Amino acid sequence: MSVFFLFCVCVYAQASKDTPSARATQLGPQTLVNLFNSPLYSDVIFMVQGSVLPAHRAVLVARCDVMAAMFSGKYAEARSRVVPIHGVSSDTFLSFLEYLYTDSCCPASVLQAMSVLMCAEMYQVKRLQHLCEVCVCAYLQSMPSRELASTGLSVVRLLRKAKCHNAEQLYVWLLHFIANNYLIFSHKHDFLELSDEECEQVERLRWPSRGYLQELSEYQQRRRKLRKSRCTVM
């Protein structure tokens, strides 16, 4: 299921690039790379956690509908050169701006991908949100079982954030991921934070299933009895 989900999302992302409007949009970022985070020709400055991030209204308006609304009409941002940003870290907002200028996003970790996803949801940039969903899935899928068992990263908390920020595909994938790694996650304390409905889904999808574990236990018992009987005969 996880591989299928990644395949579907990747196909969706590729398909979105092949539309005429997307192709036209893609031509822009290639020529805007040198303007990213540069004061050259900038006409707006974002203040984020004490960091100064220069930007260009024309680029922002063309790439983000929320920004277009923000810089038009009677909003204060339309009349001010300096715009404060709250509720987002400077690194996250810089990654968000980088996507608007370059049409690409490469978060360095699961947590960074989730932070950018939440920023994308805030500014209603759906494609960036989908890219971040794929990044989170890819990072978790690449982690070996031993690392999943020892990591301090809470997959259940990621599940909660995905649901809270309308990342429905990621939410469904994480439920399957928890179920497919049931023996690892069921022993973590945050497993108890799952809702009753989520627990039912995980239990239904879990691997190994209860039936499999029961059969395995019975098989091992028969093996032990057989060995004891052989030892007695000898």
Q: Which pLDDT does position 221 carry in this prediction?
A: 73
* 209 assigned to some structural domain: no
**More confidently predicted of 179 and 208:** 179
CB count in 10 Å sphere of residue 111: 13
Q: What is the per-residue pLDDT across 40-81, written as a single tens digit (0 to 9) for each? A: 999 999 999 999 999 999 999 999 999 999 998 778 888 899
What is the pLDDT confidence band of residue 214, given thresholds at 50, 70 and 90?
low
User: Among 104, 101, 103, 128, which residue's Cα sits nearest to residue 116?
Assistant: 128
CATH of the domain at 67: 3.30.710.10
Given this model, what pLDDT does residue 21 score?
Answer: 42
User: In 3D, which of 148, 173, 177, 178 has the Cα closest to residue 162?
Assistant: 173
Contact indicator for 53, 46 with CB cutoff of 8 Å: yes
Range of the domain at 65: 2-142
Split at pLDDT 50, 70, 90, the class of 211 is: low
Confidence of residue 20 (pLDDT cuts 50, 70, 90): very low
pLDDT at 172: 95
Whole-model pTM?
Answer: 0.76
Q: Which of 1-5, 61-65, 130-134, 196-200 has the lowest mean pLDDT?
A: 1-5
Any domain includes 188 = no
Q: Which residue has the higher pLDDT, 206 or 224?
A: 206
Contact, 9 vs 134, CB < 8 A?
Answer: yes
Asked, for residue 193, whether it belongs to a domain, the answer is: no
- Is residue 202 a contact partner of residue 194, using CB atoms and an 8 Å limit? yes
Whether the Cβ atoms of residue 118 and residue 132 lie closer than 8 Å to each other: no
Decide if pLDDT at 1 tops 90. no
What are the helix (H) ranges across the chain?
2-17, 20-32, 57-63, 65-70, 90-102, 110-122, 126-141, 145-150, 155-164, 168-180, 182-185, 196-205, 210-233
pLDDT number for residue 8? 47
Give the model's pLDDT for residue 234.
56
Residue 161 confidence class, pLDDT cut points 50, 70, 90: very high
Q: Confidence class of residue 227 from pLDDT cuts 50, 70 and 90? A: confident
Residue whose C-alpha is closest to residue 110's, from 144, 141, 135, 145: 135
Would the pLDDT of 18 be above 50? Answer: no
Under the banding of pLDDT at 50, 70 and 90, the label for residue 232 is: low
Quick check: is 213 in a domain? no
Q: Is position 158 within any domain?
A: no
Establish if 200 belongs to a structural domain: no
Residue 194 phi, psi dihedral angles, 5° rounding: -65, 145
Residue from 128, 117, 199 nearest 166 by CA: 117
Q: Rounded mean pLDDT of 108-118?
A: 96
In a domain, 70, yes or no: yes
**72 within some domain:** yes
Give, for 46, the enclosing helix (H) or strand (E). strand 44-48
Q: How many structural domains comprise the chain?
A: 1
Report how far residue 49's alpha carbon sits from residue 16's, in angstroms, rounded to the nearest whole number: 34
Dihedral angle of Cα 169, 172, 95, 55, to the nearest 10 degrees: 40
- Alpha carbon distance 189, 184 (integer Å): 11
3-class state of residue 186 by DSSP:
coil
On the question of pLDDT at 183 being above 70, the answer is: yes
